[in-house]
Structure 1
């Protein structure tokens, strides 16, 4: 995962995945591990990671309701969001489904 610090960098992403978290969120730590494992699988795209505390405009524009949140972007628009990080296979299925929808 690529950890970015500046919110303006988010708005340069046209397509891909952005993972939002907060440092004190216990569930976010588990979700981060799921994503770290998922990234090692074939065909998994690079995931951008950002602390939601520093992404106020993105949170409003993309209607982020809670963390952890994995946002799928396609052509600059939010395609879908994942909030429930139940398992690595579930996260992988979400990523694969979003990639298929973009094809």
Structure 2
């Protein structure tokens, strides 16, 4: 899982493919647990799937994409929001939320 700065993240989100961004804060304990779940999924998918974005360092993007809380999984294509996931309930749940957007 690669962490991107604001400019890199903006460029990634413009692509004509699904971008799965893990929005987090380093001070959020729940975010650390959610990140472990996503890393488990990356092992399952056998590739880096998620982009890591620090909400604290990207306040304008958080406002633009109306991120209400962290952790958040923001799924986008061509800078359009496809889905937001706030409840990282379990690895199987997150697999269900992400599988259709991986490798497309």
Normalising by structure 1, what TM-score? 0.87
Give runs of aligned pairs for residues 1-103 of structure 1, distance below 5 A.
1-4=1-4, 6-13=5-12, 14=15, 15-42=18-45, 46-97=49-100, 99=101
Once residues 31 and 73 of structure 1 are traced to their aligned partners in structure 2, the CA distance between those partners, rounded to angstroms, is: 19
Q: Which string of whole-angstrom CA distances, capped at 9 and with x for unpartnered residues, describes residues 27-80 of structure 1? A: 101000000000011376621001100111210111100000010011221111
User: Which moves more between the two structures, 42-51 or 9-18?
Assistant: 42-51
SS of the residue corresponding to residue 41 of structure 1 reads: helix
How far is 1:7 from its partner? 0.7
Q: Which moved more, 1:31-40 or 1:12-21?
A: 12-21
Name structure 1 gaps, 5 residues minimum.
Answer: none
- Unaligned residue ranges in structure 2 (runs of 5+): none
